C-alpha cells in the first residue's frame, strides 16, 4: 500500500505544484474521522458510559434509606471474616515444558478449592498471563476466568483454558477474588489472593 498508493499520491503534483491525490486522501479522512473526535462525541460518550451509569448506581445505593449500601457493607464484612479460610486442595495449571507458550495453542488449568462458608457465587478465580518487558516492567498478556464445575460442602472444582495470541515464555498466576453483582468492578474490593 505504501509503495503503490501512499508514496505515489504524496509525491504526485499537478502543474501548479499541488499534490491533488494526497489532498483528496486528507479531505476524505477529515470527513470520515473528524466527527469521531468532536467535543460532542466525547460528552455523549462520557454521559452514556459513565455519568448515567453512576447516577443510576447512586440511586440504587441510596434508595430505601441506603438499604443496598448496608447490604454490600455487611457482605464485605462477612467476606473479610471468611477470606483467610480459603484452602487450595489441588491444582494443575497446564504449564508447558520450559514455560514456553505457543500462539494459538490451548492450555487447560483446574484448581480445587475449599471455600468453606463463602457462597460459591461469590468466588471468582482467574488465570493470568504476563511477561517481563526489556525495561523490567510487567506486561499483561491474557486472562481467563475459571468456570465452576462442581461444588459440595464448600469444596469446589474450577476449570478453564487459555489460548495466548502470541508465543513466549510467560509468567502465570491464578487470581482469586470476591464476586458480587453490586460491585462496580472485580477490583472494587481489596481482598485478593494469588496462587503461582
| pLDDT reading at 97 higher than 80 | no
How crowded is residue 154: how many other Cβ atoms within 10 Å of its Cβ?
16
For residue 54, the surrounding DSSP H or E stretch is: helix 52-83
| Residue 5 DSSP code | I
Calculate the average pLDDT of the chain. 91
Give the global pTM. 0.70
Predicted local distance difference test score (pLDDT) of residue 184: 85
CA distances, 147 to each of 47, 165, 191 (Å): 34, 21, 20
Q: Which of 124, 75, 107, 114 is nearest to 172 (CA)?
A: 107
Q: Which of 26-30, 74-78, 161-165, 180-184 has the highest mean pLDDT?
A: 74-78
CA distances, 125 to each of 19, 21, 85, 121, 159 (Å): 57, 55, 16, 11, 9
CATH of domain 85-195: 2.60.40
pLDDT-derived band at 164 (thresholds 50, 70, 90) equals confident
Q: Which of 44, 70, 28 is nearest to 182 (CA)?
A: 70
Give the cell for residue 13: 503534483
Domains of the chain: which residue ranges? 2-35, 38-75, 85-195
Residues in the chain: 196
How crowded is residue 61: how many other Cβ atoms within 10 Å of its Cβ?
15
How crowded is residue 21: how many other Cβ atoms within 10 Å of its Cβ?
15
Q: Which of 130, 131, 85, 125 is nearest to 109 (CA)?
A: 125
Q: Dihedral of the CA atoms 131, 95, 192, 145 (nearest 10)?
A: 100
| Residue 4 DSSP code | I
| pLDDT reading at 152 higher than 90 | yes
**Residue entry with cell 468456570:** 147
Q: Which of 144, 154, 142 is nearest to 112 (CA)?
A: 154
Q: What is the pLDDT of residues 6-19, one digit of tens each?
A: 899 999 999 999 99
Amino acid at each position: 500500500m505504501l509503495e503503490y498508493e501512499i508514496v505515489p499520491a504524496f509525491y504526485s503534483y499537478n502543474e501548479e505544484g499541488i499534490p491533488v491525490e494526497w489532498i483528496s486522501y486528507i479531505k476524505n479522512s477529515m470527513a470520515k474521522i473528524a466527527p469521531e473526535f468532536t467535543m460532542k462525541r466525547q460528552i455523549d460518550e462520557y454521559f452514556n458510559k459513565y455519568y448515567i451509569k453512576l447516577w443510576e448506581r447512586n440511586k440504587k445505593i441510596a434508595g430505601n434509606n441506603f438499604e443496598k449500601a448496608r447490604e454490600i457493607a455487611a457482605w464485605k464484612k462477612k467476606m473479610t471474616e471468611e477470606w483467610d479460610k480459603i484452602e487450595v486442595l489441588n491444582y494443575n495449571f497446564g504449564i508447558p515444558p520450559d514455560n514456553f507458550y505457543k500462539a494459538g495453542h490451548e492450555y487447560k488449568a483446574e484448581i480445587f478449592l475449599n471455600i468453606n462458608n463463602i457462597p460459591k457465587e461469590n468466588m471468582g478465580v482467574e488465570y493470568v498471563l504476563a511477561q517481563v518487558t526489556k525495561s523490567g516492567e510487567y506486561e499483561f498478556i491474557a486472562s481467563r476466568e475459571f468456570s465452576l464445575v462442581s461444588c459440595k460442602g464448600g469444596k469446589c472444582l474450577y476449570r478453564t483454558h487459555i489460548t495466548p495470541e502470541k508465543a513466549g515464555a510467560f509468567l502465570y498466576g491464578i487470581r482469586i477474588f470476591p464476586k458480587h453483582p453490586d460491585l462496580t468492578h472485580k477490583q472494587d474490593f481489596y481482598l485478593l489472593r494469588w496462587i503461582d
